Amino acid sequence: MALQAKISDFPKIRKALKLYGVSAYITGVMLLLLCLEMIVKYGLGYSLYAFGNHGTLAFVPWSAAGTIGDTTGVDVSTAVLIAHGWLYVLYLFSDFWLWSLMRWNGLKFILIALGGVVPFLSFFVEGYTSKQVKAYMAEREAQEAQRSESGGGVPLAQTS
């Protein structure tokens, strides 16, 4: 028999699910920005700079050698790369928190983690996972209510 989430952990699961949902969308958007940045940089040969000698925002010619001439300012392309990396760490943390509370197998953790590295996948994985968790909790709560109404033994919260 597979391990089941504890009824007593349902409040924690709701919090973990909320954090996971927010981090999944943020990570998904950042991954799309990262893909766009890579297309512009490596496909078109430009890098985006902010607050430099070219103005508030400017596309500056970029070469594979890394030469950008006399350009000053913040390299927005690199900032997007770094931000996505750190936000992916948050995504993995929320994935781990939800995964451990739900007592899923290791493959489930890896499949959810892949949502943050494949463009658009985090949106689909988040929707599927949220629906699955909510349905599971609703079913378990209905079983708990039915069991307590019928007076049938020890409540599930004490047996899990």
In a domain, 52, yes or no: yes
Distance CA 129, CA 125 (A): 6
Query: Rounded to an integer, what distance in angstroms lies between the CA atom of residue 34 and that of residue 4?
Result: 37
Most confident option among 26-35, 53-62, 63-72 = 26-35
Q: Is residue 2 part of a domain?
A: no
pTM score > 0.85 for this model? no
Lay out the sheet containing 55-61: strands in order across: 55-61, 46-52, 74-75
| 2: pLDDT strictly greater than 70 | no
Distance CA 98, CA 85 (A): 20
Rounded to an integer, the average pLDDT of 131-154 is: 85
- Residue 160 domain flag: no
pLDDT greater than 80 at residue 156: no
Q: In residues, how long is the chain?
A: 160
The pLDDT tens digits for 99-110 are 999 999 999 999
- Confidence at residue 154, expressed as pLDDT on a 0 to 100 scale: 55
Round the average pLDDT of the chain to a whole number and report it. Answer: 88
Domain that holds residue 59: 7-147
What per-residue confidence (pLDDT) applies to 152? 60
How many distinct structural domains can be found in the chain?
Answer: 1
The answer, yes or no, to whether residue 58 has pLDDT greater than 90, is no
Tokens linked to 75? 């390299």
Q: Is residue 69 part of a domain?
A: yes
